[in-house]
Structures are given as structure tokens and as C-alpha cells.
Structure 1
Amino acid sequence: MSLENVWRDEWGRLLALLVAQTRRLDLAEDALADAFERAARTWPAAGMPENPPAWLLTAARRRVLDRLRAEAVAARKQPQLVAEVRTAATGPGGDDDLLRLVLLAAHPALSEEAGAALTLRLVLGVATADIARLFLVPEATMAARLTRARKKVVAAGVPLAIPDDSVLPERLETVARVAYLAFTAGYAPGSGVDVVRAELAGEAIRLVRIVRGTGPAAAATPALTALLALMLLQHARRDARVGADGRLVLLPQQDRTAWHGEEIAEGRSLLADLTGQRGVAVDSALAAEYLLQALIAAEHARAGIAADTDWVTIADYYRQLERLTGSPVVRLNRAVAVAEAGDVTNAITLLDGLDEQLPHSHRLPAVRAELLAREGRHTDAVRAYDVAIARCANEPERLQLIDRRRGLSAT
């Protein structure tokens, strides 16, 4: 086991225990970071200790004591913390401590984007520079954003506690929204040179797994179960989404032998839980939304070849999803599915009115261009491609649009 693996596997649990004991988010985070830094300096020469988490926990607690001695309240708090160091230095805390930290980082007082960034930092230990890269902002901007999020949590008086049963499901759904935002940022980068950012999507999946493992209440939350199914079914295709030249590969052209079958199987098993085969009910609008998205992903994953895709069923799922959410993006996706099911004229009609709702989207004119081309309206299609290209800030997608426009112009 490497130090990097210890960081990945134990950061969240160690920080949760330190926060639970100190009630000081800033102090706990700084102390744990110092402990890992010390490990990076000493372990290569001295060797990894027999119990790395316990070593790090002890080092962090000692750092806490050093800080507290420098503060005015040291005389009152020091004896209690010393006792905790002596009695609890065998390893990370229980799942309840981790769940408290997750709920703290994803508190409703924060915006979902701020909550996603803070969760990645606190629960998963992702470095600020990496979070900035994942969200396509400068490191200084992300550092400031994280600082504001921490201060807001403190100012809001967010308790480090697990809410009672009447509130916990709603808070766990907030966690699901945060994880969904992080996952979406991985698979729909609005700008930059990445086709997908699979690392961020993988961290979002790890977060949901961690939360579902904290206890029966989290494991039984339908929104989290549906979200994990959706993530796995989407993430299973990650290696087929990018070609050898770095270009985006659309679903019909993807090499299905590169899909991860074990993840598809797990996603399907989770769906079986939620569709009544094993008696677990979907009891919220958010869970229903994620379930419908997962069912769509499962239909794509089921197809052995592109021609086997059941577009009629997918179009119906999008119809239900649009009725549930009213989302213009869902309507756009529904139009694509309706066209693939063979009704291009109706698909074009479904795009009516979306320009006002999606004025900056490059995907809307791109879809319109494709559908117009299928109807033989090449001049209108070229104009739509020009709009899509002008709006697109993601370089691989822009190059693909240019190629499609060029091919249309040559016909």
C-alpha cells in the first residue's frame, strides 16, 4: 500500500474523526494535511508503519495539540484531547463520523457547486489544485471558493450531527445532488480540451459508494441507489468515448468490447432493486428522475450493436422524464430519441421554443442541424452548424461539428 492509496482510502474517515473530536473544521483539516506531509517525508526512509491510519491519526492529533497550546483556550481543552489521543489512536472513526462530515460538506446552506467542491476536498481529500482543474477554474479561484464555503458552513451554525429520521432522507438527497453535479462535470465539460474527465466522474462514484456504506439509512435511500446505477452505466463506457486521436466517439461508433461489463452488471442489479423486483420503492421525485436516466443508460448499455438500441423505449423514458422535470435539456434529448426511432419531423417540432430556454447551448443547433440534414434541408442545416460551432467552447466537440459541417457541404 502506498501513501497515495492511504490518502485516497482513509482521508475522509480520518478527517471525520478529527472534526468530531475537535469540532474545528479548519484545525482538523490543517492537522491531517500536516500529518500526510510528515508521512511523505519520513516513510520513504523509515518504512511504512504497520497501521498507517493510526500513525496518521496520532500525528494529526499531536498537531492539534500544538495548535491548541498556542491558543487561549489550550488550558481547558488540552487534557481532554490528550486523553483521546491515548485511548483512540488505533484507527479511523466509525461510519457515523464520516456520514456527519459528508452531510456537513453538502449542507443545503451551500450552493450545489460549492457543496460539490467542498465534498471533494473534505470527504475524498482531492487537492485544491485538482478540484480547480476538474471544474475548469484557476486554482486561486477554487481556493477562494472553498474558503467561502467553509466560512458559510461555520456562519450558518451547521451542527456536526446526523439529523433525525424525518430530515435525514432529504439531506441524503442533497448529497446525491452534489455527487450528480460532480459526475455531470466529468461527462459534460462545457469548455477545455477534454472529451470527458473520467477522474472526476470516478470520484463522484466513490463518494456515493462511501455514503451508501455508512449505514442502513443511506444504503436504502432510493435517490442514492438510482444515482449509483446511473453513474455506473454511464461510466462503464468511458474507455470507448475517446478515439486514439483524442476525438469524441459518439455512441453508435463506440467499440462495445471496451465497455466495462462488470460495472454494467452492477448498475443493472441496482436497477432491479428499484424497479420492484426486490421490493424497494422509489419514493421521491429526485429518485424517479435518476431512475429514469439510469433506465435510459441501461437501454444503451444493453444494445450489443448500435442497431439493437430500442429507441422507442428510450423516447418514452425521455417523455416521462420531461413530464417530471420540465427540463429543456431533457426535451432536447427526447427529440434525438424520437428522431432515432424514425420520426424526424416530430423531432424537429419538439425543438420549437427551446432557443429561448437554451440561448447559449451549442448542442441545440447541433441537433437541429443533424435533423435538418436528415430531411434533406442542407442549406438550413449548414446555418445551424455554423451557430453550433460558434457557441461550442469544448475543442473536441467543436472539431467534430466542423467535420460534420464539412461533410454536409461536400454533398
Structure 2
Amino acid sequence: MSDRLRDMGDHAGFAWQRRLRELAPQVLGALLRHHGGFDACEDALQEALLAATTQWPVQGVPADPKAWLITVASRRFVDRYRSDTARAGRERALAVLAPADPVAVPQADDTLTLFLLCCHPALTPPSQVALTLRAVGGLTTAEIARGLLVSEATVAQRISRAKQRVRASGARFELPGAADRAARVRSVTEVLYLIFTEGSTASSGPTVDRAELSAEAIRLTRRLHAQVPDDGEIAGLLALMLLTEARGAARTTPSGDLVPLSEQDRGRWDTAAIAEGTALITHTLRTAPIGPYQLQAAIAAVHDEAGRPEDTDWGQILVLYDLLDRLAPGPMVTLNRVVALGMARGPAVALEELQAARAEAAVAGHYRFDAVHGYLLDLAGEHAAARACYARAAGRTLSLPEQRYLRSRATDARTAGENR
């Protein structure tokens, strides 16, 4: 992105970048419908976006930005097709593929179709994430690399392989049948959840979160919700993101250290996001079959509605985790439920449950097992044992803020033990 565009974005709230990202999937959809060939169309789109970033700041935004991008991208597609002489008969085929009239600007929004194509079952989850951020999100390779904390070369390779697999699978740019569509939409929500989770709680690196990534996940989930407004799980996922992100400003100290939920300044929580997320999940629970994302959103809403930590309705949270454990069991559900059990019924009962859960390798093998164990031991007054658990957990996480926080908890446990 040019320095001039970045400077202009600073004065206009990055309106240029936001507008281009909004238009990117619509333009790609138009190209795919007209030309076919995902990889070639996506390359043409990226060239058109680059042209926009260099020309619009100088010449002004066109009256119809979408039509401008479609026209430029289509020309780039045709130019690339003409220059490729490796296949016989290109010029004859070109007469069919590139009519004299410009590509018509479609009225339909192809965003859902594009989501489903990017989350094709032939692709691995990392490839689905990268391709979704690129094709639907309109992010550059460098932006995706920064968000995922991997090299640009790795992202470029994932995107390239994803395009090849989409082409090899014979996938067409069209909505699948109703039965297949439901499964594919679930894949899309899983990808968006992965993006948000990595943005909200970075699995490694020097920062607690990656705000740009979580913000992009929310933006894309809003788009998906607009496409499928009656899907309860998509609505639940959006509510979960809003209710979780609402606490973002209070999750770290000015120096970047992690602040646990019980110690956060709740006056810094985003009340507008909480209100929107709560209204969304309340409506969804009343009108749609209950699913895992809705239950997670309901748990987040109970936390966000508590004015003080001691006001938290842990009994309700425990009931919701019991339901979630039946619908979508997993290591994190197990550990979070144990914490809720400890808060609702006391650490002794929760420690028994945690010991029973140790038999599951996926639970015992995660650093949060030791963190939860330390927390419950601390509550039970067993500070020396808690200190050892916290130290062990700190050595198993790749997140530097998590390491600092867990070591500080170990110190607090030691101090509590010495002062008994």
C-alpha cells in the first residue's frame, strides 16, 4: 500500500482500505461468474486493488468504485490470458472469454458463495483461513502474515496451494445443494471462529491479542450473518465475538500484561458491543435450535452482565457449560466447566472433577490443565502445590503475556503460603 494512501487513510479513518475490503468479495464474485478460474480471477482482483490504491488517491474515487474494479480486474484477466502462449488455441478461446462489452456489474451479492468456496472440504483449515482472509476479507499477503504470525512466504504458499486444490477439485462458483450447503456453512463458521480466537487470544508471541485479526473476524461474520440471517449458530457466533471483544480494552495493562476477568476494570468494557451481543443472543435463543456457539455466547453474556466479579451467576454458567459439554465436548469445555464448578460449589468438588478429567490426554496435555489446577489449589489454600502448577503451566505456553501472568500467580501463591 502506498505511503500516500496510508497518509490519506490516517485523515479519513482508513475509509479507502475499508471500502476496498468491502468491495473485494463482490468483485471477485463477478469475475468468477464471468470468467471462471479461481486462481486467475483472484490474481486479477489483487492487481485491480493495487491499481486502486495508487490511482484513486491521485485521480479521485470513481463514481462507481465496484464497476471500476470489475472493469480493471477483467482487463487484467484478459491481458494475462493473452500473454500466456503455453497452450494452443488461446486466441481463439479469447474471443469467447473476453467480449467487447465490459463485465456487467451484478446486483446479487456472491459473498456466501465465495465463503463456501474458500472453505471447500478439499482444503486444510490453515488454507481455508488464509484463503478466506484473502478472497473474502480482501487482506494482502503481508496483512495475513502479520495477523497469523507466519512469514509472507508461508501465507503465499498456503494461498497458492488452496487455489490449486480448488481447481483440482472441480469446484464451481455456485451455491451447493441444501444438504451440502449446511455442512459447508458449518465449516465457514469454524474458520471464522479460528480467526477470531487467534485474534482475541494469541496462541504465541509477545502480545495478548491481535486486534486486527479479531476485528476482521467480526467484520466477516457480520457479512455472513447478513447473508444467512436465520441461522442460529451464525448469529450465536457473532454474539460471542461481540461479547468477548467488548472486554478487549480491559484485558491488558498499559505495559501489555494480561489482566484476568476477575480483576478487569469493567468500566472500560464496551457497553454498546455488550448490548448488541446480548440482544442478538437473547433473540437467537428464542427463535433457533440451540447450538454450541449460542451457548458460548450465553456464557459470555452472563459474565458481561455482572457489574462486579462477585455478582457473576456461576450457577447459571455451570448449567450452560453442562449443556455445552453434551453438545460439543472438548478439552477447553471440560476445563472451563471445572472452573465454573469450583466457583459455584467450591474448589474441593472441582478438584475431584479435574482429577477425573486427567485421564483424557487432550485435557491433561494442555497447559491450561496446570493453570486451572493451580487456580483451584490456590482457592483451596494449598499454595505450595498451586505454585508448582502455575510454574509448570508457564513453561508450557508459547504466549509471553501468559507466561508472565502465570509466573506472577506462582509468586502470589508463594506469598500467600508464607503469610499463612
Q: TM-score, normalised by structure 2?
A: 0.89
**CA deviation after TM superposition for structure 1 residue 246, in Å:** 0.8
- The whole-number CA distance in structure 2 between the counterparts of 1:105 and 1:249 is 36
Query: Where do residues 73-222 of structure 1 align in structure 2 (5 Å cutoff)?
Result: 73-85=90-102, 88=104, 91=105, 94-95=108-109, 97-214=110-227, 218-222=228-232
Indicate whether 1:301 and 2:304 are aligned: yes
Range that drifts further, 236-245 or 44-53: 44-53
CA contact (8 A) 1:172 1:221 kept: no
CA contact (8 A) 2:341 2:349 kept: yes
**CA deviation after TM superposition for structure 1 residue 353, in Å:** 4.4
Structure 1 residue ranges, 4+ long, deviating more than 3 angstroms after superposition: 77-80
Per the alignment, residue 406 of structure 1 pairs with 411
Indicate whether 1:339 and 2:381 are aligned: no
- The whole-number CA distance in structure 1 between the counterparts of 2:216 and 2:53 is 23
Per the alignment, residue 281 of structure 1 pairs with 288
**CA deviation after TM superposition for structure 1 residue 51, in Å:** 2.2
- The whole-number CA distance in structure 2 between the counterparts of 1:410 and 1:156 is 60
SS of residue in 1 equivalent to 2:184: helix
- The whole-number CA distance in structure 2 between the counterparts of 1:9 and 1:371 is 46
**CA deviation after TM superposition for structure 1 residue 281, in Å:** 2.4
Per the alignment, residue 265 of structure 1 pairs with 275
Structure 1 residues 93 and 122: CA distance shift in structure 2, 3 A:
farther
- The whole-number CA distance in structure 1 between the counterparts of 2:101 and 2:181 is 29
- The whole-number CA distance in structure 2 between the counterparts of 1:116 and 1:29 is 16
- Aligned CA RMSD, in angstroms, stands at 1.9
- The whole-number CA distance in structure 1 between the counterparts of 2:200 and 2:52 is 34
Uncovered stretches (5+) of structure 1, i.e. residues with no partner? none
- The whole-number CA distance in structure 2 between the counterparts of 1:50 and 1:203 is 27
- The whole-number CA distance in structure 1 between the counterparts of 2:107 and 2:81 is 21
Per the alignment, residue 244 of structure 1 pairs with 254
* Identity rate, percent: 39
- The whole-number CA distance in structure 2 between the counterparts of 1:40 and 1:376 is 60
Per the alignment, residue 372 of structure 2 pairs with 367
**CA deviation after TM superposition for structure 1 residue 166, in Å:** 3.0
Indicate whether 1:324 and 2:327 are aligned: yes
Structure 1 residues 353 and 152: CA distance shift in structure 2, 3 A:
farther
- The whole-number CA distance in structure 1 between the counterparts of 2:200 and 2:163 is 27
Structure 1 residues 163 and 249: CA distance shift in structure 2, 3 A:
same
Per-residue CA shift, 1:79-115, capped at 9, x if unaligned? 5533451x61xx56521x2222111001122223321
Indicate whether 1:377 and 2:378 are aligned: no
Range that drifts further, 73-82 or 255-264: 73-82
Per the alignment, residue 315 of structure 1 pairs with 318
Per-residue CA shift, 1:322-357, capped at 9, x if unaligned? 122221221110111111224111111121244422
Uncovered stretches (5+) of structure 2, i.e. residues with no partner? 1-11
SS of residue in 1 equivalent to 2:375: helix
Per-residue CA shift, 1:272-301, capped at 9, x if unaligned? 22222xxx221xxxx511111111001011
**Which of these residues, 60, 80, 99, is aligned with residue 73 of structure 2?**
60
**CA deviation after TM superposition for structure 1 residue 237, in Å:** 1.3
Q: How many residues align?
A: 397
Indicate whether 1:391 and 2:396 are aligned: yes
SS of residue in 2 equivalent to 1:336: helix
Range that drifts further, 347-356 or 220-229: 347-356
Structure 1 residues 84 and 210: CA distance shift in structure 2, 3 A:
farther
- The whole-number CA distance in structure 1 between the counterparts of 2:122 and 2:96 is 34
- The whole-number CA distance in structure 2 between the counterparts of 1:227 and 1:325 is 14
